[in-house]
Structure 1
Amino acid sequence: MFRSFSVFNYRVWFIGAVVSNIGAWMQSTAQSWVVLTQLTDGDAGAMGLTMALQFAPPLLLVSVTGWVADRFDRRKLLMLTQSVMMMLAVALGILVLTGVMTLPLMYGFALALGVVTAFDNPVRQAFVSDLVKREHASNAVALNSASFNTARLIGPAVAGVLIVVVGSGWVFLVNATTFLAMLGALAVLRPHEFIPRPKTLGRSRLADGFRYVRGRPDLLVIFVMVFLLGAFGMNFPIFASTMALEFGQGADGFGLLSSILAIGSLTGALLAARRDRARLRLVVLAAGGFGLAMLASALAPTYLFYALSLVLVGFAAVTMLTTANGYVQTTTDPALRGRVLALYVAILLGGTPVGAPIVGWIATEWGTRSAILVAALAAFIACGIGTTWMLVSGRLHRDAERRFRLTLDETRPLTVIEDAVPEEFSDEVAATTPVRLPR
């Protein structure tokens, strides 16, 4: 389960990420609560718009951010993005503490954070391949998810208590200090132990990532499924905060719901770390499980029952997303990994600007339970799309080891062929095109 910890650089990175992620979850909780209770009178639509502004830049800037992740030193890029996010957290805390914060200002900060995150996320995702070898990549991705959800287990609960005791503004300032852990980890990494990246030869074009994904129907299916869940299913700040208010809970009750959600999420991430590789069929099954779990949460009669249902919601969501991420990482050409991961992140986070305002509006007009039912429906549609493609492509019944098996026909000579590289691809992609045997 923890085999990637045998690598010094990954151990250091993991520790820094846990501390930084705890702060990020604290800020996310505080931001949602400030918008919902201080800047508006329980307006879920305003929260949906805040989320839309924060998650729109990854979608709009996807071609640039992916290219940057492939072309430049990822360690230095992360030090830059983490430093900028730390300064934004300090500014947010000061404005909230001084009473100057307004809803338009919060919208502006959400957009600014989204722009920085648009560059940070694909670099962070691709940086894993710089720290561990390919055979450990799926495990490292799952442990990253475990780090993220360990932080989700701690951060929202701590934020809820701090909001009650000292106020929301201090939560943003505490988050700013946690960035020092990530910056410190990046500073002590051993660059000479990084996994060598494919050398760039000749031209390197932004469009290569799009063309690569277009020629991979399995990735297209994953991207469609991830978009549906990202747009309509992953709006937990809206669901949890408005359900907490419905059950008469305060900021501490809202923070506790986010932490309970993380129990299932952490379990899903750790189980994913035990698997030898990511499989597409598990992505499909987890999408269906997410739909069932959301359906159960929509029907929850009490706060306790709703909280318990979130364990299943978190487990299914992280199982699907961690497996999808691992599949993309381990099956993508190394020369294009940054650009393809930028597309993945853009589709996952970029769905929020589409779905969050809709979900927030539904929650305001027809109640939170109706919005949760929409999320469940989106998950069932995603599961149906994945199942249909697997049936049509024959993947549903394909032996798990078939892709690694070579069957020889004695009546035909064995030949080695090289994949043709279309002229529209850059020299960089051509240089990494593998030689393979015919099936």
Structure 2
Amino acid sequence: MSGQSLSLIGTWVETVAQALLVLRLTHSGTILGLITSVRYAPILLLSPYAGLLIDRCSKRHLLLATQADLALVSAVLGVSVLTGEIRLWQLVVLAAVFGILSAVDNPARLAFVHEVVDRPLIRNAVTLNSISMNVARVIGPTIAAVLVSTVGIGWCFVVNAASFGCVIASLLGLDASSLHPVPTVSRARGQLRAGLRYAASVPAISRPLLMMALVGTFTFEFEVSLPLLARTTFHGTETAYSWLIGALGAGAVAGGLAAAWSSRTGVRRLTKAAFYYAIAVGLVAAAPTLPTAVAACLLAGAASITFLTTGNSTVQLESDPAFRGRITALWSMALVGSTPIGSPIIGALSDVASPRYALALGAAACLAAVIIGTWPSGDRQVK
């Protein structure tokens, strides 16, 4: 958790820096959305295959490989920016490479949780992981703002490259005898289709995946909507975006600590979380001033962490261990892989109309997820 938390701070430093870099180079919300789309398109296209790879291989070894390669991508990007040689096409290529590696890294990290802790602690482990992600969302943008205003954007990518070393060191230092390894799946024909059929046959897996796909496509596009809201709606500086994204993370930390007290999961709880999320994002869209938008982001962050941890815990606890890599890959595809579809839409809608309309579309997507969650089923609460 220590290594992962430090690395996630670096990731958010780079995420903020990349958005600001694209806007500096292009001054276009549409292009920002397209670059974000390129970054996450491989996750949409490759996640099912990545999940099968995870079920067949050692998750720890896969993570060592992906973390080292992701560090190299960030280092190359940092050097290009610092030397003044960065071009838009380089951003596109490096974003695509980042996405290919993340297609394996994201679900491998989710599935690896089951090997670090045993079943009774899964929900709290997932919540703890989500809290660390959102602590990073608070700290990372703050560090990014300081670096951008002092030494420049390029050093943000260098910091992220160095932060991957924390994860690599922690993976190498783990006591392997204390893990709970899941037996790998032997290679056979039809395993990809079998994983898809399995996910579709379990309502407590298929419906959270559908709900996450909707919310991931149109609501979780804050990397596009919030910088545009800060710049075009509130006419703020780059620091304004850091305040918005930082508030989102702070709310998620508070919401995550509250969620850790409850051990209940399931579609019913996920549906309630989607409803509260719709209200919170709607408040961000309607906020008349930057301070009120920051306050609304606190609520949106709390709702988002509840939605994420409930959905993630539900699909992991419901999945058979032999299919867990493929199920977590489908969850990653619904959460992150949906970005290539949603980010250009959110960016274009922000340019044509307003970032407020883009955020309102995200709130509407949460309400659509509520409808999916209320379909009659035999869903049960998972302890």
TM-score by length of 2: 0.96
1:334 maps onto 2:334 in alignment: no
d(CA) in 1 for partners of 2:58 and 2:313?
Answer: 22
CA separation in 2, counterparts of 1:68 and 1:199?
A: 10
Do residues 79 (structure 1) and 64 (structure 2) align?
yes
Structure 1, unaligned runs of 5 or more: 1-13, 405-439
Q: 1-side partners of 2:171 and 2:10: how far apart?
A: 17
Asked if 1:230 is matched to 2:199, the reply is no
Q: Is 1:131 equivalent to 2:107 in the alignment? A: no
Kindly indicate which of the two structures has a greater share of residues assigned to helix. Answer: 2
**Hey, what does 1:252 align to over in structure 2?**
239
Cα shift at 1:345: 0.6
Classify 1:200/1:116 alpha carbon distance in 2 versus 1 (closer, same or farther; 3 Å): closer
Query: Where do residues 172-321 of structure 1 align in structure 2 (5 Å cutoff)?
Result: 172-198=157-183, 200=185, 203=188, 205-245=191-231, 246-321=233-308
User: In the alignment, is the contact (CA less than 8 A) between 1:53 and 1:353 conserved in 2?
Assistant: yes
The answer to whether structure 1 residue 22 and structure 2 residue 6 are counterparts is no
Deviation per CA, 1:360-413: give whole Å up to 9, x if none.
1000000111111111111111112212x1xx2265xx7x5xx89xxxxxxxxx
SS of 1:274's equivalent in the other structure is coil
Deviations 1:237-260 (A, max 9, x none): 112101111322222221121111
Deviation at 1:136, TM superposition (A): 0.8
Instruction: Give the aligned partner of residue 366 of structure 1.
Output: 353
Q: Which has the higher contact order (CA 8 A, sep 6+)?
A: 2
Cα distance in 2 between the residues matched to 1:229 and 1:23: 25
Q: Which amino acid aligns with 2:37?
A: A
- The 3 A distance-change label for structure 1 pair 191 and 291 is same
Change (3 A) 1:196 1:84: closer
Distance in 1, Cα, partners of 2:274 & 2:171: 35
How many angstroms does 1:199 deviate by?
Answer: 5.6
1:10-47 alpha-carbon deviations (Å, 9 max, x no partner): xxxx00111000000000000001001x2112x11111
Unpaired segments of 5 or more residues in structure 2?
Answer: none
Q: Which residue of 2 aligns with 1:156?
A: 141
Q: Partners in 2 of 1:280 and 1:364 — Cα distance?
A: 35
Query: Structure 1: how far apart are the matches of 2:359 and 2:372?
Result: 20
Aligned to 1:51: 36
Amino acid at match of 1:220: S
Q: d(CA) in 2 for partners of 1:149 and 1:297?
A: 18
Number of aligned positions between the proteins: 381
Q: How far apart are residue 274 of structure 1 and its match?
A: 2.1
2:312 alignment partner, one of 317, 325, 331: 325
Corresponding letter in the other structure for 2:287? A
In 2: Cα distance, 1:175 partner to 1:200 partner: 34
Helix, strand or coil for the counterpart of 2:260? helix
Q: Distance in 2 between matches of 1:121 and 1:380?
A: 27
Give me the identity figure in percent: 37
Within the candidate set 356, 363, 378, 1:376 is matched to 363
SS of equivalent residue, structure 1 residue 51:
helix
Query: What is the letter of the counterpart of residue 139 of structure 2?
Result: I
Question: Which SS does the other structure have where 1:248 is aligned?
Answer: coil
Counterpart contact for 2:204–2:318, Cα < 8 Å? no
The alignment yields a C-alpha RMSD, in angstroms, of: 1.5
Question: Take 1:280 and 1:94, find their aligned partners in 2: how far apart are those partners?
Answer: 46
TM-score computed with the length of structure 1 as normaliser: 0.84
Structure 2 match to 1:10: none
Q: CA deviation at 1:346?
A: 0.8
Map Cα deviations across residues 125-179 of structure 1 (whole Å, 9 max, x no partner).
1000111101111111110001111111100111012111111001110111111
Name the aligned partner's letter for residue 79 of structure 1.
L
- Is structure 2 residue 95 aligned with structure 1 residue 110? yes
User: Secondary structure of 1:318's match?
Assistant: helix
Q: Helix, strand or coil: the match of 1:39?
A: helix
Assess if the C-alpha contact under 8 Å between 1:161 and 1:252 holds in 2.
Answer: no
Map of 1:393 onto structure 2? 377
Name the CA shift for 1:69/1:90 in 2 (closer, same or farther; >3 Å): same
> Which region of structure 1 is more displaced relative to structure 2, 272-281 or 229-238?
272-281
